[in-house]
Structure 1
Amino acid sequence: MAPPLGLRDPQRPLRGRDALIGQVESALSVPGSPLVQVLCGMGGSGKTAIALELVHRRLGRGQQVWWVDARQDTTLEAGLRAVARQAGAPEEQVRAGDAADVLWSYLAHYERPWLLVVDNADEPALVDGPGRLREGTGWIRRPANSRGSVLVTTRDSAPQTWGGACTLHPVRPLVGDDVADAAQILRDHAGTMAGPPHDARCLAQRLGGLPLALRLAGTYLAEANTVPAAYREPGTPVDFGSYQVALDRGLEHVDQGNVIAQSWAMSVKLLDQRGLPLARPLLRLIATFADAPLPYTLVLTPQTLASAGELANLDGPGVWGLLSALAGLGLVDLSPATGSDALPTLRVHPLVRDASLDHAALGTAVTALHSAAFAAKTGGPEDQDYWDHWRLLQPHALDLFHRATATELPGQTIQDTANTARLTARYLRVRGHYDQARSELEAVLAHSRDSLGDTHPDTLTTRHELAVVLRDQRELDQARSEFEALLAHRRDSLGDTHPNTLTTRHELAVVLLNQRELDQARSEFEALLAHRRDSLGDTHPNTLTTRHCLALVLLNQRELDQARSEFEALLAHRRDRLGDTHPNTLTTRHCLALVLLNQRELDQARSEFEALLAHRRDSLGDTHPNTLTTRHCLAVVLLNQRELDQARSEFEAVLAHRRDRLGDTHPNTLNTRHELAVVLRDQRELDQARSEFEALLAHRRDSLGDTHPNTLTTRHELALVLRDQGELDQARSELEAVLAHLRDSLGDTHPNTLTTRHELALVLRDQGELDQARSEFEALLAHRRDSLGDTHPDTLTTRHNLAALQQLRAVD
């Protein structure tokens, strides 16, 4: 969000804009609630330069300045959410569905004077955000008081776009009375050798006074004059007059687009004359990528350009020399690695891009990006050490895929772009962007089926990746169907023990685990573990992954001691091989903490979840699904420790995030909603708790069926609310029905069965059926002593209730 002040050159002051800057500065500083100030004009007119000058002045007065790039919806929204955080908004509010309201609420109370700059807001739909810009409900709004001000740059000059809360300031070319300033811009860039002021004014008028064209022309002349006359190609323009003659020779009818194109052509011709003929094809290649920062040290290297025709023989110094020459003429902007971009990047002005674009370079761009994506130094999308690489590659990979598949390119080139897009979708999935990953994989799969057929390995791989996303989205029936079909294909074509077959079998077993088909999942994981131990060894990552999943089944089957032993052994392996902060290590540590929670070792579980949450927030961010899962589990610990207010606050925050990212009916959203309802019940907000449980029960019956464990859990909790509300007959009926289901599916001694039986005994006590209640408590106490020991909290609770019942009977 830092302003790009590196683009402001104090040696070349802004020309011809003093009056406009003064006008905008005054408007930004009016008392009360200043309007949004909008700098509008065509591309290349210098809107961003004016905004930077205003920012420079504000910073000199010690004001807070935020700068947000609005060229893409992702950078706009991420930037404005970051502003909200810096303005003091808590993370859970920033990530809620009403983030725009949160932003402007906190800006209204921000104590320091501030300026928010939204640069390149050319697409009104993006700045509408969750509301409407014209109605004052979008991302950009009028500040609430004079401490704040908002400045926007845009190509859209239509008043109806911006509404009454905005003041439009047209940024026009420097012509007419301003032509002297335009001429001075030429002289600032070209130097003193390029001709007299009169010639500069004539050329400035010929260039239409457009600052970008003036900069390109001036930079060209400065570079041309570095070559001694004896070595110049005859006819090379070296002053304002000859440059204008060259323009007039090339164009009969001049508009701004043609001026830029002609200036571009002359700049590239100068590079040709300086012995850099490959600058032209390199610039055309660069223009083929998306309008986003391009990590050139990954994408434009001798290795990635090895199949790039005339660029194929470039070495490292050769590539860098061309990039430096292009930057020297202002045709590209090179940015060093920064805190937000771990790699150096380049960008091209949209008008220069338009002039440079050559669709014939599309295939070369696809090949270069494919080579970069699969290079060892880029790293895999699952490895968080390389996520900065994939964040920068992502817009280019997806843009090239969609453009390439709509054109006639060689089959291998199309296959390369599809493979790159598939790998990029994997990055989106591991970052928790499931909807976008699914959308991209569906597009890749449709293309692969059409061009390669249903049984081609690439098609099957994409289908597998899509099924994993479906599983992550908890669309378990659809994911299971896909994995079952894939497994049949792979067994038939590859055999039972091929690694790809085993991978699909593993993922299918994970779906079975998520569907609570625990016996079948356990059988699959045990068979897979035997295969992988035999073929890969005990410590191979795939072996450890299967062992981890098997331990998860044990946890869900309440074989807690065995599960704990497995997770402790796995954690030792992963810490030794991967380190403490690797995602797989953290996942195992999370599962071990779950065992501790289930074993009622609450202090130790809390300590683990708190440490894990800090790691995940730092590496994944606050809203990644894994972060939210750990935060949810920490809240469960708080609930069990009876820190109800803190637990409620955590569940409410997690619920807001999950609703925003996953939707109201996603299983994870429903799980958090269920736990929040438990807190409401324990806080004696019984009517609200009952309403929540009834709504949840309807959802779960509809999506999971009457006998799914989650449905029975919600039904159990609803029965407890009914009991607390004094509706004992209805509570008893519900608990008896749940108990029958649990005995049938889990057996008489399963912890869940015993818990429901315990609650039923309490209802019997409250109904005055003391003998039956005593019989139940005595049987429960024997079970719990045998399975949990005398000092387990559940054993002590049953013992306490039996003693209280005996006292009650004595009184009677």
Structure 2
Amino acid sequence: MSRLDRFKHTASPSPHASLGPGVNASGKGAVAAGRDIGQAITGAGAIGVHFEQTVTLPKEAFTPASSVACPPGLTNVLKLPRPFIGRGRELALLDRAVLDPGAVVVQAVHGLGGIGKSALAAHWAATRATEYCPAWWVTADSPASIDAGLALLATALQPALAQMLSQEALRERALQWLATHNGWLLVLDNVADPADIEPLLARAATGRILITSRRATGWHGVATPVALDVLSNAEAVELFTEILTHGPPRDADGTDEVCTALGYLPLAVEQAAAFCAETDTSPRAYLDLLARYPADLYASAAEGSDASRTMARIWHLSLDRMADEPITGQILRILAWYAPDAIPRNLLASLASAPTLLRALGRLAAHSMLTLHSETNDLTVHRLVQAVARTPDPSDPHRQPADIADACIRATAALAEALPAGHAEDPASWPTWRALLPHVDSLTDRLPHGSDTADTARLLSRTGQFLLREGSITRSLTYIQRSLASLERTVGAEHHDTLAARTNLAQAYVLAGDPKRAAPLFEQLLADSVRLLGEDHPDTLTARNNLAQAYQLVGNPKQAIPMLERTLADSVRVSGQDHPSTLVAQSNLAGAHMLAGSLRQAIPMFEQTLADSLRILGEDHLGTFSTRNNLAATYHAAGDVKRATQLYEESLSIGVRVLGDDHPNTLTARNNLAYAYVSAGEMKRAFPLYKRTLADSIRIHGEEHPSTLTTRNNIATAYRLAGDLEQAIRMYEQTLAAYARVSDENHPDALTVRSNLATAYRQAGYSGRAISLCEHALADGIRVQGEEHPQTLIKRNNLATAYRQAGDLDRAIPLYEKGVTDCLRILGEEHHETLTAQDNLASAYASAGNPEQAIPLHKKAVTGWVHILGEDHLSTLTARNNLAYAHRLAGDLRQAILIYKRTLANCLRILGKSHPLTQAVQGNLDSARRQRLRHRAARAKRASRRKEV
């Protein structure tokens, strides 16, 4: 039996009240008549000996309720003071309920206070009033209000009864009328508790009842619920504009932003629009006022409107109803600091025991103050409820300033406690980070910077580190800079946490492509660490290592090497040869030698470090993984692609097994292996790896994460090397556009992509575009990285090459000459960039018809490549081919052919017959041989002529 069925039987007449067929009376002071008796005796002693009161009733009182007709057009439905906008879905739901003969239709529109429940009911009832008689509105926020509304209905049906019967008797008369008639509509507005209307529902067997309530629960078996949500953006803007411009024309610019700030809540939109209209305030000025004086605006009501119908007041009343459970207000004040959606419930776990907390959340949800999502175990709070809940008001017991301040502290502590333990590189922590990040953003955005505590600063610092991993460099810098400022203020400049925050900020500058700002920070950190902790403290050694790496990034690897040598020596002395920190220092020193071009020194150091790591840490340790990858990269740079490929394949296999497919190190290993395949000319193996890496990076990190953009650049380069210049150019252009959107078009990685795009333009024959792009790349490189940065030297070389290919040797040669001079001074004689610069200058001399100038430079380049990379490196083979060409131009075909033959033999042995360089050398050798044959034929012909003479 439903709740409605159970209550249908409670109205059966008592033996003492039966006065005739179809005429009943129940309740204190009730009167019923089945015939014209003229008088009725009422009171406590109406059936006993004592008579208290005699009432003479009008004739209408003795007409059975079933016989009373409804006066045509009887209605008291509210008239809306504002235009009604939208709500088509909800109106359709109300219309779809079919009134079956002999059955009552009960619907309950529920939602947050101010969401527009009464307006919806009033509009629906008013537009359908002609279909019902009467269409009657009852304020139903308490049993007393319901009784009063029903009594008014009775007197509206029979005005003569107004002064003759008590309210209770009139209520009973109305219930009898409703029970015996069809075609009526009763609106019960603002029902506080479904139990308050159960007696009414038990008596009303026919007709239509529309309920509005903040209660979202308790309607099962009583009414069909209709949930009401906020307006759409377009509807909210329309409502605001309609109210604002109802009078004289006004500035409506900023209306969309105001509606968004108010969360599209109808009452809030109405209040804001009315305020703007009455005070001639523009929407944008209202936004400024809302930011500066929220308490005043949340409590303001339009002139002539109900002062209790304000955003602050309606939620105050909701909390008053839950005053027996103070934790409900505390919950709202804490939730006020988070983002409005997907708030994890565990952020509230420390407030109370699980049963108490569940009960409080249930009550808040029942009053539509929040929404519980059982499937995701989180909750939602309307942003305006949050705004009011965190706005202090000394006159409101639910919004005392001390309580709001305490809630903020608790919200911060709960977020800090919920952050994942461990390093942000662990993919297992990413779902938790991503779930909490909007709430960290919201909390920190709402806190004035000067109010940050040490706990807030630590929350900011950890979040900043995660954002670095996410590739959100700009956001990360904002968090870490604020964290550092807060820690300096709260715990002092020399506290351990402050030094750690300064390290994080310097690392963020490095990842942002701004090592020039990082280096001074690392210098200060090293000085502070030495002063506060001593030369041998692990943090001091780390600070020295970080500074050395910053020097490498600003283009001073030679300055870094002595620092890393000292760090390694100190680590061996302090921690021992086999300590993990010593292995890290050894690996860093090897990496510095590699960047400095000293591959013959780097390779043995990496090999020793890998052997030590395998012995001390084991094959699966992350440190071993990194060392293996670094050694592979060094082999690759040295031209030993076969050994590099083998190590990359091992790294990828271990990464998948130990770290999983989605770990950043696994993606890096797959990307590196693909690059090795490209270098070996194995494009069929490279492209599937690259494409999988790109798809995984997009899935894990997003379309515009730095790792995704790096992979796109690498794939574009693979297409360029494979000869598909159209596809390469398209991908380079897309990648460059992405950098401009999400990072900075002057980020070093973006400058690299721009240079690569210029190379692709040049190879595709677009000399004009290539030159323009190279000119911009060089100018940006000088401005961002400096005149002497290795990347700037590369960009100058690329511009010179673009000029040379366009035939403008007058501009190309001076740039090449400056490049050689700078490389010799900055990088040294045997750095690979120096050798490249010499080889390119020599080629330009040859193209200008000066092979005699070219040959010595080419020889230097060949000697250098052989010394640092060996006879079989691709760069060595390329330089030999160029030297042979210079000899050929100089007319020394014998020497040219000898060099071509040697180079071709090495290319066939190392690269294979199909490699582009092999084919180019073969073509050059064939041309040189044909040229020698022509020369011999010409000499023979000249000799024959002389003989004839």
Please point out which of 707, 712, 715 is paired with 1:626: 707
Using structure 2 for the length normalisation, give the TM-score. 0.55
Q: Does 1:679 align with 2:760?
A: yes
Q: Deviations over 1:472-519 (max 9, x none)?
A: 111111111112211332344345565544554454344334334345
Please point out which of 345, 354, 360 is paired with 1:297: 345
Q: Deviations over 1:540-570 (max 9, x none)?
A: 9673586378559847964766766765555
CA shift in 2, pair 1:542/1:595, >3 Å: same
Please point out which of 400, 413, 432 is paired with 1:389: 432
Which residue of structure 1 lines up, in the alignment, with residue 329 of structure 2? Answer: 280
Please point out which of 586, 611, 614 is paired with 2:695: 614
CA distance in 2, matches of 1:415, 1:286: 21
Which residue of structure 1 lines up, in the alignment, with residue 382 of structure 2? Answer: 348
Which residue of structure 2 lines up, in the alignment, with residue 324 of structure 1? Answer: 362
Unmatched 5+ residue regions in structure 2?
Answer: 1-75, 95-113, 130-134, 154-186, 200-210, 216-299, 390-397, 582-615, 874-905, 936-949
Which residue of structure 1 lines up, in the alignment, with residue 149 of structure 2? Answer: 198
Q: What pairs up with 1:447-458 in 2 under 5 angstroms?
A: 447-458=486-497
Q: What pairs up with 1:560-579 in 2 under 5 angstroms?
A: 570-579=651-660
Please point out which of 734, 737, 745 is paired with 1:653: 734
Q: Deviations over 1:343-375 (max 9, x none)?
A: 623223514751565542333443344344334
CA shift in 2, pair 1:642/1:352, >3 Å: closer
Q: Does 1:585 align with 2:557?
A: no
CA shift in 2, pair 1:553/1:487, >3 Å: farther
CA distance in 1, matches of 2:857, 2:485: 59
State whether residues 180 and 201 of structure 1, in contact with CA within 8 Å, keep that contact through their aligned partners in structure 2.
Answer: no
CA distance in 2, matches of 1:372, 1:798: 65
For the residue of structure 2 that corresponds to 1:739, the secondary structure is helix
Which residue of structure 2 lines up, in the alignment, with residue 543 of structure 1? Answer: 623
CA distance in 2, matches of 1:775, 1:433: 50
Deviation at 1:771, TM superposition (A): 6.0
Which residue of structure 2 lines up, in the alignment, with residue 487 of structure 1? Answer: 526
Q: Does 1:460 align with 2:499?
A: yes
Deviation at 1:668, TM superposition (A): 1.7
CA distance in 1, matches of 2:798, 2:152: 82
State whether residues 702 and 708 of structure 2, in contact with CA within 8 Å, keep that contact through their aligned partners in structure 1.
Answer: yes
Deviation at 1:680, TM superposition (A): 1.0
State whether residues 754 and 780 of structure 1, in contact with CA within 8 Å, keep that contact through their aligned partners in structure 2.
Answer: yes
CA shift in 2, pair 1:773/1:461, >3 Å: closer
**Amino acid paired to 1:538:** L
Which residue of structure 2 lines up, in the alignment, with residue 699 of structure 1? Answer: 780
CA shift in 2, pair 1:777/1:801, >3 Å: farther
Deviation at 1:389, TM superposition (A): 3.1
Q: Does 1:268 align with 2:319?
A: yes
**Amino acid paired to 1:653:** Q
Q: Deviations over 1:451-492 (max 9, x none)?
A: 222111222222122112111111111111112211332344
Q: What pairs up with 1:633-648 in 2 under 5 angstroms?
A: 633-648=714-729
For the residue of structure 2 that corresponds to 1:334, the secondary structure is strand
Deviation at 1:324, TM superposition (A): 1.6
CA distance in 2, matches of 1:299, 1:556: 50
Q: What pairs up with 1:131-150 in 2 under 5 angstroms?
A: none
CA distance in 2, matches of 1:216, 1:564: 77
Which residue of structure 1 lines up, in the alignment, with residue 69 of structure 2? Answer: none
State whether residues 140 and 190 of structure 2, in contact with CA within 8 Å, keep that contact through their aligned partners in structure 1.
Answer: yes
State whether residues 609 and 630 of structure 1, in contact with CA within 8 Å, keep that contact through their aligned partners in structure 2.
Answer: yes
Please point out which of 803, 808, 811 is paired with 1:722: 803
Deviation at 1:328, TM superposition (A): 1.0
CA distance in 2, matches of 1:666, 1:282: 45
Q: Deviations over 1:274-298 (max 9, x none)?
A: xx442232233323x1352252323
State whether residues 369 and 381 of structure 2, in contact with CA within 8 Å, keep that contact through their aligned partners in structure 1.
Answer: no
**Amino acid paired to 1:431:** E
State whether residues 777 and 802 of structure 1, in contact with CA within 8 Å, keep that contact through their aligned partners in structure 2.
Answer: no
State whether residues 574 and 584 of structure 1, in contact with CA within 8 Å, keep that contact through their aligned partners in structure 2.
Answer: yes
**Amino acid paired to 1:420:** L
Deviates more, 1:177-186 or 1:573-582: 177-186
Q: Does 1:786 align with 2:871?
A: yes
Deviation at 1:678, TM superposition (A): 0.8
State whether residues 519 and 550 of structure 2, in contact with CA within 8 Å, keep that contact through their aligned partners in structure 1.
Answer: yes
Q: What pairs up with 1:146-545 in 2 under 5 angstroms?
A: 173=119, 195=146, 198=149, 218=190, 220-222=192-194, 255=306, 261-273=312-324, 276-287=325-336, 289-301=337-349, 305=350, 311=351, 314-336=352-374, 344-348=378-382, 350-351=384-385, 353-354=387-388, 357-359=399-401, 360-375=403-418, 381-401=424-444, 403-404=446-447, 414-495=453-534, 498=537, 500-519=539-558, 521=560, 534-535=579-580, 537-538=616-617, 543-544=623-624
Which residue of structure 2 lines up, in the alignment, with residue 766 of structure 1? Answer: 847
Over the residues paired in the alignment, what is the CA RMSD in angstroms? 4.9
For the residue of structure 1 that corresponds to 2:756, the secondary structure is helix
CA shift in 2, pair 1:370/1:748, >3 Å: same
CA distance in 1, matches of 2:307, 2:871: 87
State whether residues 777 and 801 of structure 1, in contact with CA within 8 Å, keep that contact through their aligned partners in structure 2.
Answer: no
CA distance in 2, matches of 1:764, 1:368: 70
Deviation at 1:332, TM superposition (A): 0.9
CA distance in 2, matches of 1:695, 1:385: 42
Deviation at 1:438, TM superposition (A): 1.2
CA shift in 2, pair 1:706/1:467, >3 Å: closer
Deviates more, 1:692-701 or 1:498-507: 498-507
CA distance in 1, matches of 2:798, 2:343: 53
Which residue of structure 1 lines up, in the alignment, with residue 87 of structure 2? Answer: 50
CA shift in 2, pair 1:221/1:495, >3 Å: same
For the residue of structure 2 that corresponds to 1:786, the secondary structure is coil
- Give the number of aligned pairs: 613
CA distance in 2, matches of 1:548, 1:522: 21
Unmatched 5+ residue regions in structure 1?
Answer: 1-15, 21-40, 58-153, 156-169, 203-214, 228-238, 244-250, 306-310
Instruction: Please say which structure displays the higher CA radius of gyration.
Output: 2
State whether residues 467 and 475 of structure 2, in contact with CA within 8 Å, keep that contact through their aligned partners in structure 1.
Answer: yes
CA shift in 2, pair 1:171/1:683, >3 Å: farther
CA distance in 1, matches of 2:151, 2:327: 31
Deviation at 1:643, TM superposition (A): 0.7
Which residue of structure 2 lines up, in the alignment, with residue 164 of structure 1? Answer: none
**Amino acid paired to 1:267:** S
Deviation at 1:621, TM superposition (A): 0.6
